[in-house]
Structure 1
């Protein structure tokens, strides 16, 4: 233009950083450059000579043991329980289920069977503890304006109702019921999973977030005692209690994600255009 000729130079792409010839894949972490270059669809087409395991070294193996002891322990436990599963005799259809927690609390079960008054006292104390859980969970929402624990409890009990109805476990032999126990009146209830334990975990998780450490530790101790009593009275199987702990943690996490999604959506609405768009308008 204006008599001046111009030439366009095309930039050549930057050269990739050269890697030393001795570089190899680590057993614990794949090559990040390779992951960027290869799409998942291209992975099956790789040659066997590029297989990850061919580049493992003794140093890699020792590094895994040193830096990842927990997964290594899980690997050993996997092999152990595979051996147990393949050699263990199945429980006959008409026999009661084997429960390790019941076996561990057999002495306490005989004690409470011989002392109905003590069983009723412990059942009443357990009901008080359930009331403490419920009061705290509702308090955090109604008084403190923090609904996460309440949302978590609603999620948890809904899922418990679905699973409990879907697979109805038989009442354990030797069940020591009491009219003072929760649910009060010695009425029927779902065994899987333990709402007692899950609600206590939900409350304890909230207490720890708020740094109410003494109260949280007190709830954890009471929850352990509650679990022992439930095993002793045959009010729950061991699997009910174990899943109850996991359910409390899971639904507390899901309630947190639910809250975060609502906060994100509200922020997007506030930053949106006049028509209420969910995305910030480009300036």
Structure 2
């Protein structure tokens, strides 16, 4: 099984090498990169490319590692015992299987995505070390041990919001998705907007990269945002002339697709003001 670019996803050579290395080593692939660079989409494309089913565990700030294994609903069991329900005699009726359990018990190999691991508490990654290493865990309430029938392909994403523990990093194969250069971005755009006119694409990408390189920008626009922007430009049937910015504003047309906070909008408005004053 080897991963490579698909019809709907452009994987750079180094990214494909990283995925295939993690699969060969049977280690989790830890993928970092700016938000919007396709980390979550990568897992979906790996699953499609390798012909595997994907199980997705979306991590939140309140997520605990135990939830990935299982949860024991003691409250429901107590309530049922008070009602005289026969289900209370079998504790397994009150065990909720987590995403790791689902991946471990699957009859075929699956891709397990642990998405945005850095959102959780700092201890969260360490709490999963043994389970991801040994591919098994113990269910104390039933006394059984759950072992993976087939070792899943584990892909873990992080937006770099906080540092991950060294012990966790040692067990992963790491890859940082660099922001695409212009040529790679052209290939990505062609996948999503096939047949886009060359002149429009060149003008739009020139503006896009100028915006990303602007000093003082709080949030740089991402790959997903430039794709949205181009979709709008095509829907409005704009041509390169329409994208020219006049002296009154340094903001690009339909800038709401690219700039996502008022601080960055004000930055470009100030730039236009300073440019007009210099000309005056």
Do the structures match in fold with TM over 0.5?
no
More helix by share: 1
Larger Rg: 1
TM normalised by structure 2 equals: 0.20
TM-score, normalised to structure 1, is 0.20
Greater RCO, CA 8 A, separation 6+: 2
